[in-house]
A and B are shown apart, each in its own frame.
Chain A
Amino acid sequence: MKLTAEQLVYTHPGAREPLLNGVSLEIAPGRIAALLGRNGSGKSTLVRLMSGYLNPDSGSVTLDGRPVSEWSPAERVRRLAVVQQHVSIPLTDYTVRETVAMGLAGVSRLSGALSPEQSDRLEHTLELLELTELSGRLCGTLSGGERQRVFTAAALVRSPGLLLLDEPTSAADPAVTRKIVSLLRRLAPEVGILVVTHDLQLALDCAGYVMLLHGGRIAAEGNPADVLRPENLLPVYGCPFRRYDCGGRPVILPE
Chain B
Amino acid sequence: MKTARIILVYLAAALAAAVCGVLFGAARIPLSEFIQDDALNPIVELRIVRTAAAAVVGASLAVSGLVFQAVLRNSLAEPYLLGVSGGAGLGAAGAILLGFGAWGFMSVPLFALLGAVTANVLVFAAVRRRTAEELLLGGVMIGTLASSLLMVLITFSHSRDMAGVVWWMLGSVQNVDPARQLAPAAVLLCATTVFLLFRAGDVDLLTFGPEYAWNHGVNARVMTVVLLALASLLAAVTVSMAGIIGFCGLVVPHIVRRLHGGSHRKILVPAALAGAVFLMLADILGRVASPVRELPVGMVTAAVGCPVFLWLLNRSRAGS
Contact = CB atoms under 8 A, between A and B. Distances in A.
B70 to A, nearest CB: 7
Nearest to B211: A53
Given A92-B258, A92-B262, A155 B215 contact: yes
Given A51-B214, A103-B216, A94 B204 contact: yes
Interface residues of B, number: 32
Interface stretch (B6-14, B25-33, B148-156, B195-203): B195-203
A90 interface: yes
Contacts of B212: 84, 87-88, 151
B217 A76 contact: yes
Contacts of B130: none
Contact of A91 (B75, B205, B216): B75
B216 A102 contact: yes
A253 interface: no
A74 B205 CA distance: 13
B226 to A, nearest CB: 14
Interface in B303-320: 320
Nearest to B129: A13
Contacts of A107: 217
A83 B204 CA distance: 17
A160 B255 CA distance: 37
Contact of B214 (A52, A91, A92): A52
Contacts of B215: 51, 53, 77, 81-84, 155
B69 interface: yes
A94 B262 contact: yes
Contact of B265 (A78, A82, A112): A112
Interface size class of A (residues with CB under 8 A): 35 or more
A105 B201 contact: yes
Contacts of B105: none
A123 interface: no
A106 interface: yes
Contacts of B257: 91-92
Contacts of A6: none
Nearest to A103: B216
B309 to A, nearest CB: 15
Contact of A74 (B208, B217, B320): B217
A91 B201 contact: no
B262 A73 contact: no
A53 B263 contact: no
A73 B215 CA distance: 8
Nearest to A75: B217
Contact of A77 (B198, B200, B216, B263): B216
A110 interface: yes
Which residue, B198, B205, B265, has most C-beta atoms of chain A within 10 A? Answer: B205
Nearest to B267: A92
B249 to A, nearest CB: 14
Which residue, B70, B74, B207, has most C-beta atoms of chain A within 10 A? Answer: B207
Interface in A76-120: 76-78, 81-84, 87-88, 90-95, 98, 102-103, 105-107, 109-110, 112
A90 B218 contact: no
Contacts of B219: 73
Contact of B204 (A51, A76, A102): A102
A77 to B, nearest CB: 4
A98 B214 contact: no
A91 B69 contact: yes
A185 interface: no
Closest 5 A-B residue pairs measured CB to CB?
Answer: A106-B217, A92-B262, A88-B209, A105-B201, A90-B207
Interface of B: 69-70, 73-75, 129, 198-202, 204-205, 207-212, 214-219, 257-258, 261-263, 265, 320
